[in-house]
């Protein structure tokens, strides 16, 4: 039963790109709708768990929420540019690498030769896995294709930066995770309003994407529950399985076309990223 609960974040987070892709809207509309849904879910979580708020948890929550919005907004932009099946394997791998390097450089998490060996091995799996997921049989057709790819890489870089500081802020503070959820969702909404300030976003696309925020909130709360029940290593590793759902769903559910060779490399790359994530989860236990 505990393992099944730990798989919920994988299904929830792995389906966000698919659901938002079907619901439609611009990245700003998707981000705002998602943050509103997350805020609604956070209110419900607060009423259930009644965590004690302190000034520190409020500030940390707001800051981490702002960084999360940067990460999610730019990830939505990346998916618009190159598709879900191209974006999410790379995004997942980059996030894992960024958090690993932050753990080593900022929090001194690798303290033994065993940690160093497993950490380097995990990074190798991640780098190779990400490279495999970007294999393409299509040749760039002129300046427009090169411009799109450049914009995609820039958006992915900013997304990775936002997601990295979202987790770094929480890890560095040591605050109660449940107490952070509500102020974090407030920071997410503020960030989404900032990104959408120049666009008319109050329409049915924003309303539709509230569903993605509720889905994200379900994954977030079950991640916290599973971490307490079975530990970080197993719960963290299982949450990485969502990459398979998002990648295959992008191809089959959203109709993103791939050649047989591209599909084969994507599957191998996803498996390598998951293996790297499992090793990192074991390291963090």
Residue 140 DSSP one-character state? P
Instruction: Using alpha carbons, select from 79, 85, 94, 110 the residue that is nearest to residue 161.
Output: 94
Q: What's the rounded Cα separation, in Å, for the pair 213 and 234? A: 25
CB 23 within 8 A of CB 208: yes
Interval 25-45: pLDDT, tens? 999 999 999 999 999 999 998
pLDDT at residue number 137? 84
Tell me the domain boundaries of the chain.
2-283
pLDDT at 284 over 70: no
Average pLDDT of the chain? 89
pLDDT at 222 over 70: yes
Confidence of residue 220 (pLDDT cuts 50, 70, 90): confident
Interval 53-77: pLDDT, tens? 889 999 999 999 999 999 999 999 9
* 254's tokens: 């959203």
* Total-model pTM: 0.90
pLDDT at residue number 147? 92
Cβ neighbours, 10 Å, residue 205: 18
């Amino acid at each position: 039963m505990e393992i099944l609960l730990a798989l919920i974040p994988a299904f929830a987070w792995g389906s966000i790109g698919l659901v938002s892709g079907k619901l439609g809207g611009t990245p700003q509309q998707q981000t705002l709708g998602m943050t509103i849904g997350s805020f609604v879910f956070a209110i419900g979580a607060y009423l259930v768990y009644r965590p004690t708020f302190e000034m520190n948890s409020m500030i940390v929550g707001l800051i981490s929420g702002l960084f999360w919005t940067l990460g999610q907004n730019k990830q939505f932009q990346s998916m618009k540019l190159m598709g879900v099946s191209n974006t999410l394997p790379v995004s997942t791998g980059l996030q894992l690498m960024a958090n690993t390097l932050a753990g080593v450089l900022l929090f001194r998490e690798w303290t033994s030769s065993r940690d160093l060996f497993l950490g380097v091995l995990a990074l190798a799996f991640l780098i190779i896995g990400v490279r495999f997921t970007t294999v393409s049989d299509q040749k760039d057709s002129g300046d427009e294709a090169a411009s799109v790819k450049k914009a995609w890489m820039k958006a992915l870089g900013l997304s990775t930066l936002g997601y990295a500081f979202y987790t770094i802020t929480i890890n560095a503070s040591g605050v109660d995770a449940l107490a952070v959820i509500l102020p974090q969702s407030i920071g997410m909404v503020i960030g989404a309003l900032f990104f959408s300030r120049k666009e008319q976003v109050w329409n049915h696309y924003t309303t539709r994407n509230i569903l993605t925020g509720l889905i994200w909130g379900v994954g977030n709360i079950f991640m916290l529950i599973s971490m307490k029940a079975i530990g970080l290593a197993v719960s963290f590793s299982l949450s990485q399985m969502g990459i398979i759902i998002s990648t295959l769903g992008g191809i089959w559910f959203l109709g993103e076309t791939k050649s047989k060779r591209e599909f084969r490399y994507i599957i191998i790359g996803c498996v390598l990223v998951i293996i790297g994530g499992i090793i990192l989860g074991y390291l963090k236990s």
